[in-house]
Amino acid sequence: MSSFYQQLFFTLLLLAPGSLLFSAGSTPADQLARATNAYNRTDYQGALDAVVSLPVKPLKANLLIGKSYYMLGDFKKACDFLHKGAEQDSNNSEYYLWLGRAYGRRAESGNPLTAPTYAGKARQNFEKAVQLDPKNGDALNDLFDYYLQAPGFLGGGLDKATALLPKIKDYDSAEFHFALAQIAEKRKEFGTAEQQFRRAADLAPRQVGRILDLAKFMFRQGRVREADSLLKQAAIISPSDPKVLFEQASVLVRSKRDLNEAKRLLKIYMQSPLTPDLPSRADAEKLLKQAESGA
């Protein structure tokens, strides 16, 4: 097809009534807003459809595209668009946060020979995100998690995780005690870890996630009854919270108890209006298969 006809058909598509790209009165900013709404509803493909083909993209479009590809599991494309965005907006901490996440997933899911390289890039991008914005809580948390879990030859280490504690304390005292709890658990100082998990929950009584953190710790310690009690407490505080439904089901499946109840909770979870910070429907489906198989 000649370039003339390609341009003609593209122009007609843009001008067509009800076009996905530009309906009457639509602007690139309008399309970005629609894409953002789709992303927040976890309609990641819908977000991409609304913004990828825009001939002139708003400044933050590449961030949304990269995040959407990340959520769809295409981590290479996520990196491609996030790099483009970082070149345009090099002082935006969010690009480096999501690049760190995308490279981290490439390290987990890719060729073992390239995993160390991608892991190193994940660390470097998390560090860049924190350098650009020391109050970016998500970036601080992800860098802390990396340091806590990664071996020394990949740039991790308890000493590095511990060095981040003052920054974490500056922006969120409950998160600070949660970080202390994780360090103590890593060191097998379980009594201290429990105290810090409880302190984090006390400091944020309206954050049901803090109770869930304590419940998961109790379960890891084999204290199943206490974990169940905490999950019930979380359900009383926030009975329809999808986080609570998922964790209740997860504990039941992992302990191989009341699998019918676990399946019921997971089906409700998958029908809930999920947000990007919650376990994905794919995670819930995987857990549901475990419940159905009794494994």
Kindly state the tokens that stand for 70. 């990340």
Q: What does the DSSP assignment read for 224-286?
A: HHHHHHHHHHHHHHSTT-HHHHHHHHHHHHHTT--HHHHHHHHHHHHHS---TTSPPHHHHHH
- Angle of helix 137-149 relative to helix 93-109, nearest 10 degrees? 30
For residue 39, give the amino acid letter.
Y
pLDDT digits (tens, 9 = 90+) for 235-249: 999 988 999 999 999
| 288 touches 267 (CB < 8 A) | yes
What is the CB neighbour count within 10 angstroms for residue 96?
Answer: 25
Count CB-CB contacts under 10 A for residue 228.
18
Percent of the chain scoring above 90 in pLDDT = 70
Task: Tell me how far apart the alpha carbons of residues 80 and 168 are, in angstroms, rounded to a whole number.
Answer: 30
d(CA 141, CA 133): 13
Q: Tell me what the mean pLDDT of segment 97-115 comes to.
A: 92
Alpha helix locations (H) across the chain? 3-15, 28-40, 44-51, 61-71, 75-88, 93-109, 115-132, 137-149, 158-163, 165-171, 173-186, 190-203, 208-220, 224-237, 242-254, 259-271, 281-293
Across the range 209-234, mean pLDDT stands at 96
- Least confident residue range of 4-13, 67-76, 136-145: 4-13
The pLDDT-based confidence of 26 (bands split at 50, 70, 90) is: low
Is residue 180 within 8 A of residue 154, CB to CB? The reply is no
Cα–Cα distance list, 64 to 44, 102, 118, 137 (Å): 9, 13, 22, 19
Please determine, for residue 63, whether its predicted confidence score (pLDDT) is greater than 90: yes
252-295 pLDDT, tens digit per residue, is 999 999 999 999 999 999 998 888 888 888 889 999 999 988 76
CA distance 119 to 130: 17
Residue type, 135: K
pLDDT surpassing 50 at residue 174: yes
The predicted-structure confidence for 176-188, as pLDDT tens digits, reads as follows: 999 999 999 999 9
Compute how many other C-beta atoms are within 10 angstroms of the C-beta atom of residue 190: 14
Q: Which pLDDT does position 295 carry in this prediction?
A: 60
Q: What does residue 19 show for φ and ψ, rounded to 5 degrees? A: -55, 140
Residue boundaries of the structural domains of the chain: 27-154
Residue 206 confidence (pLDDT): 84
CATH number of 27-154: 1.25.40.10
